[in-house]
Amino acid sequence: MSVASINPARSMLQRAAKGGVGMDKILESGRVRGFITSLPLMTLLIGFLVIPLTYIVWGSFEGSQLSFGHYSRIFTSGTNLNILLYTLRIGLIVTIFSLAIGYPVAYLLTKIGSRSFTAISIFVLVPLFTAFLIRTYAWMLILGREGVINNTLIWLGIISAPLQLLNTTFAVIVGMTHVFIPMAIFTMYSSMVRIDYEVTRAAQILGATPVQSFSRIYFPMSLPGVFSAGILIFISALGFYITPAMLGGPSDTMISILIVSQMTTLLNFELGYATAVVLLLVTIGILFVASLFIPLEMIWSSSDSSLSDVSPRAGARFFRTVKSALNPILVLAETVAHATTKPLLTRNGRWLWGYTIIILVFLTAPLVVVFIISFSSSPFVVFPPSRLFPALVGKTCKRYGLAAIIPILASARHSSFGYCDDYRNHGGILARPNEVCFQKGAVPLLAISFDGSSRHCCDLIVCL
């Protein structure tokens, strides 16, 4: 190899080495590393938040015309103002109910063992990870005129005609509370699990009653988690759409429904943009007010930092002053509460377990209703569904083709056979294709399909 061919290669390597050294010097800068690290996040924020939000704000002012007419229409129109106030009221009610219902459950989760914690968490997580539409549809079945509640009350003889439960404010509150209870439970639990129970135990050793140790020590220490859950639920409730749209009536219109109506039905995009901006400003105002009580980073923080390290905010100092002024009334309330709840304060906490079971039933009952309805063969949505058992067995035979063994006690003595491949009057009941042959006083014990065809449900039905 000649010297002339070696020198260009060596010079190229030297230049590359110098370039690498220069790149290392650039990467040593903290600002450059920080910019490179934050570049994906900045791209997401700019592409999915800044640009759409700028477009909405710009459209609310009608572009370069800079018109405030849509904003003045929102605050001068009695209908729009009532909808905004109704949204705030429903959000506040749902937040209070969700916190009050979820607080005892979150408290129990901090006291039980790992197996019980896992069991309860499953019953809370299943509704949490179920789509809003499915849960709302379930409440339509429960609260309807032919729903579970009305049919049960009529069967018990309490009422003679169905109650108007669906398309009411009550239905909206129940449906939204059902959605937000799991969020409240786990948000408060993440804060309550860090509280040292030895502090309350020490207070009782020093003479405090269980009610006093809870109200003066434990409850104030759990307030950051309560505030965090309340802020998350309230802000989410303001923009909720599916549940109020499906469970509420015309008088239960919330601001999210108004925005959708303006954008899709009335095609008034500018007014819809302005309404969305107003909702955003209300949310920012709520966060500002909340920052007066607790640091906003505590809403999503799960660190084990001591709450005493956080300097009290203006709102916290205000409540502390109010508490000092109302101390005699609080002492009287604690005395009455202790005398009332003393029989319930057992070591094993049976009342707390009973309450938690009731809440778990409330959370899972809509899902059970939807599961049962999914096997109905009726063309109408009613509960309890008609011909549920034939549809369930028929679908099982169709899907698996071989066997559906159903051990149910029979009330008849003689055995009989019915074929589902055509229409036959068997035992006084007409047997149809894709249905199990039923008799009066007889129930199917064994269903076998020989050919596994999807045209016929079961070739042979053995009834006792």
Torsion of CA 49, 225, 91, 135, to 10 degrees: 80
The pLDDT tens digits for 239-248 are 889 999 999 9
More confident residue, 442 or 274: 274
- In this prediction, residues 256-261 reach a mean pLDDT of 90
The pLDDT tens digits for 33-60 are 777 788 888 899 898 889 998 998 898 8
Work out the pLDDT band at 4, boundaries 50, 70, 90. very low
Work out the pLDDT band at 237, boundaries 50, 70, 90. very high
pLDDT given for residue 203 in this prediction = 83
pLDDT given for residue 350 in this prediction = 80
pTM, to two decimals: 0.72
The pLDDT tens digits for 69-106 are 888 888 888 888 899 999 999 999 999 999 999 999 99
* Distance, CA of 365 to CA of 127 (rounded, Å): 10
The pLDDT tens digits for 404-438 are 333 333 333 333 333 343 333 433 333 333 344 43
- In this prediction, residues 179-200 reach a mean pLDDT of 90
Percentage of the chain beyond pLDDT 90 is 22
Cis-peptide into 295, omega within 30 deg? no
Residue 459 has pLDDT above 60, yes or no: no
- In this prediction, residues 285-312 reach a mean pLDDT of 64
Cα dist. 121→31, 99, 124, 359 in Å?
43, 17, 5, 12
Say if CB 163 and CB 180 are below 8 A apart.
no
Say if CB 223 and CB 77 are below 8 A apart.
no
